[in-house]
Amino acid sequence: MADNFIYMDHAATTPVLPEVVEAMMPYFADYYGNPSSVHVAGRRAGVALQKARQTLAELLGAKATEIIFTSCGTESDNAALRGIALARRTATGASRILTTPVEHKAILQTAEDLRDHFGFALTLLPVDSTGLVSPDDLAAALGDGHDVAVVSVMYANNEVGSVQPIAELGALCRAAGVPFHTDAVQAGGKLPLTVQALQVDAMSLGAHKFYGPKGVGLLYLRNGTPFVPYMTGGSHESSRRAGTENVPLIVGMARALELAESARVAEMDRLRVLRDRLIGGVLEGVDGARLTGPRAPRLDNHASFVIEGADAEGMLIALDLAGIAASSGSACASGSQRPSHVLDAMGIAPAVAAGALRFSLGRSNTAAQVDELLDKLPAIVTRVRGEG
């Protein structure tokens, strides 16, 4: 599709790079074997699967045995939280889950399900007005860690771009002997993913946020972390996630992360400049606009605001008509009219949160596009407010 619009919604999803499509193609119709089969067709697929696993493991500084393929970031989050919490309760009796109120619903609703249907206690750590967790609050909530089954804190927030101090939080969990998971779905391709440095025991990724295909993700699970499979029915993925592996998509995910990692530093340097131009321009050109999330530490491609008196849905429709694709913050929340749970946890009143607007930049964006947005947005806001 020729892009005749300005796409500024890369936090929702990204296009698949041509090199990624090319890497996947042979595995649909030529090398189509089941990687579990013993014959030559299966072995070919099996080799591709292992190669992708090895590539991904190396990119994360992990071992191949620590990579579990899944169908998306949501599944990785479910597998991590359910798998670790249940296994640890069985092993130690620990039955409290610690997480934050700004997590993606893939974590929050899973934690609530574990509370409501599996008897776990749930503690939500406080966040400040920019959505950041404090290590001191985690330390206080952990105590000696004996009753905590698992801690999960997202690496980067999808709605407001805040980047949590994962290594510091991880070190606290490690000292308390409690497994630590991070949802790194928004961090993939944008922030360093080396698991040793991050001090995580488990980490979720989804390929479609870093120019890979939709429908595939991975869970890094450090060897020795207590885990029961959430999906049963076969010995795939060393009996940790049953189901025939999606070889073409997994090959695509490995290629996509390889490309994303090799371009990451230069691309983030480029996007940071565009992002700062966008943030500065909106704050200056649109009255009643306020940045949500911190100035720093913030995702380099992420600019999010609340615009007082302007309804998000109205702004998104008007932007769309003007050829600009943006979001109110969370794909799941747009259209639902419910105020964002993230902005709520940050203390932003529902009436203000109703004007949430997110621009997430990526490879296709240029300074000229940012300027076009800055040129068009003030009039759009005026119109949506009913002043124009």
Is 332 a catalytic site residue?
A: yes
CB of 376 to ligand PLP, least distance (A): 26
Residues 29-68 touching ligand PLP, rule: CB under 6 A, are none
C-alpha separations of 39 from 43, 130, 209 in Å? 6, 55, 35
28-60 burial: b if 16+ Cβ within 10 Å, else e: eeebebebeeeeeebebbbebbeebbebbbebb
Among 74, 152, 162, 360, binds ligand PLP (CB under 6 A): 74
Selected catalytic residue, list 122, 228, 322, 332: 332
Q: In this chain, which stretch among 39-47, 112-120, 178-186, 310-318 interacts with ligand PLP, using CB under 6 A?
A: 178-186
Proportion of the chain in helix, strand, coil states, percent, rounded to 5: 45, 15, 40
CB of 74 to ligand PLP, least distance (A): 3
Chain centroid to Cα 108, Å, comes to 13
CB of 122 to ligand PLP, least distance (A): 18
Number of shown-chain residues binding ligand PLP (CB under 6 A): 14
Distance of alpha carbon 169 from alpha carbon 221, whole angstroms: 17
CB of 215 to ligand PLP, least distance (A): 8
Q: In this chain, which stretch among 27-35, 181-189, 193-201, 351-359 interacts with ligand PLP, using CB under 6 A?
A: 181-189
The verdict on 183 binding ligand PLP (CB under 6 A) reads: yes
CB of 25 to ligand PLP, least distance (A): 22
Nearer Cβ to ligand PLP, position 44 or 82? 82
CB of 207 to ligand PLP, least distance (A): 8
Residues 135-154 touching ligand PLP, rule: CB under 6 A, are 154
Distance of alpha carbon 162 from alpha carbon 132, whole angstroms: 7
Contact between residue 299 and residue 186 where contact means Cβ atoms under 8 Å apart: yes
Residues 318-377 touching ligand PLP, rule: CB under 6 A, are 331
Contact between residue 319 and residue 364 where contact means Cβ atoms under 8 Å apart: no
The verdict on 73 binding ligand PLP (CB under 6 A) reads: yes
Hey, is 219 helix, strand or coil?
A: strand
Q: Which residue is nearest to ligand PLP (CB)?
A: 73
Within 10 Å of residue 138's Cβ, how many Cβ atoms?
Answer: 23
Helix axis angle for 367-384 and 312-321, nearest 10°, is 130
CB of 118 to ligand PLP, least distance (A): 21
Amino acid at 323: G
Contact between residue 212 and residue 255 where contact means Cβ atoms under 8 Å apart: yes
Dihedrals phi, psi of 353, to nearest 5 degrees: -65, -20
Among 99, 110, 152, 158, binds ligand PLP (CB under 6 A): 158
Dihedrals phi, psi of 359, to nearest 5 degrees: -115, 120
Among 33, 145, 206, 355, binds ligand PLP (CB under 6 A): 206
Residues 210-239 touching ligand PLP, rule: CB under 6 A, are 217
Among 97, 102, 106, 289, binds ligand PLP (CB under 6 A): 106
Q: In this chain, which stretch among 36-44, 116-124, 168-176, 182-190 interacts with ligand PLP, using CB under 6 A?
A: 182-190
| Beta-strand runs (E) in the chain | 6-7, 67-70, 96-99, 121-124, 148-152, 180-183, 202-206, 217-221, 289-291, 302-307, 324-325, 356-360
Among 185, 191, 260, 319, binds ligand PLP (CB under 6 A): 185
CB of 111 to ligand PLP, least distance (A): 13
Contact between residue 173 and residue 182 where contact means Cβ atoms under 8 Å apart: no
The verdict on 72 binding ligand PLP (CB under 6 A) reads: yes
Dihedrals phi, psi of 91, to nearest 5 degrees: -75, -35
Q: In this chain, which stretch among 47-55, 57-65, 73-81, 115-123 interacts with ligand PLP, using CB under 6 A?
A: 73-81
Which residues are part of the catalytic machinery?
332
- Give the residues lining the site for ligand PLP (CB under 6 A): 72-74, 77, 104, 106, 154, 158, 183, 185-186, 206, 217, 331
